[in-house]
Structure 1
Amino acid sequence: MLDKFLCVCYNVCRKFLFNNLIFRSVIITDLLSDIEFEVSEITKGDIAEVASDLDEVVLGEAVIGELTEEEKRWKAYLSKSFRRLSEEIAEHLDKHQIEIGESKEDCEKFRSYVRRQKEKLDLVKNIFWTSVQYRIKYRFDFNIGVRKDWKIVSLPSRSGISDFFGILKSL
């Protein structure tokens, strides 16, 4: 069975993956981290590369160690989802580029939309990191329940419990 915390994270992220277009901008946001980036410079290859990086960094065995059978199925499921989403983003981006042409105003409008989503995107990405790091330190089992000391566990500086509950409240 998945850890209780990891399972909750999975359900939250699944909701974002399939019910919220915001998550699909994660890859584009990373590519547009440099404000000087022109929309026309982003290619399908860039998107596929970042999608692959997300898959390996967030879900790779090198990060989370040996996987349980349940987690192997979860990883395969999310990996497939990332690949499908990256293809959809590439198609959407191609269409968007045709629509906006070379207009500087339209490019800035597109960048502005991405920037407005950054806070939520960061929280969603941090949920993955939190679940991965949390699993390494504390195992949970549905038959045992949550440990009494779970609230005071030290989490990685790049994410935290408060971020996790913050995103839950915003759903």
Structure 2
Amino acid sequence: MSTPSQTVGPFLSIGLPWPDGPTVVPEGTPGAIRISGKVYDGAGAPVPDALIETWQADPDGRFDHPDDPNGPPGKQFRAFGRCPTEADGSYWILTLLPGALAGQAPHINVSVFARGLLHRVVTRIYFTDDPSDPVLSSVDPERRHTLIATPAEDGYTFDIRLQGADETIFFDV
């Protein structure tokens, strides 16, 4: 007999964050950018107790993974970020723009954990609508904008909509 599924949260903001989770690179790192946004539910209300996780290549396109043939990223680059949302649904990550991977446009992998979800949802942040990327080009052109960050004064903005109008594209992984 299997145990029934349960939704995750609202413990996410209590047990999973760590103090420097949003800083993939230290403050003051040359070239650092801030990616910020808000998480919204299906009714358009902010989600105050979600958790955003990011994993990405460094600016040279190297992943912190033993199978990466390019080797590990530089020592000051953690490649992984984690930020709980605030009461207004906002989050931020301080990082460097990722480099391109073989056959893929620069992107950041994103997992969203939130109350009401049985499993995390996974998406990507792209910085341009690059038709040469096989994942991005597989998405309906009318919905690609949900995967592309908007330039902002100090970096980029990337809002995540869990359901409803302009729902962010999520991938089955």
TM, length-normalised to structure 2: 0.24
Q: TM-score, normalised by structure 1?
A: 0.25
Q: Which has the higher contact order (CA 8 A, sep 6+)?
A: 1
Greater share of strand: 2
* Structure with larger Rg: 1
Which has the larger share of helix? 1
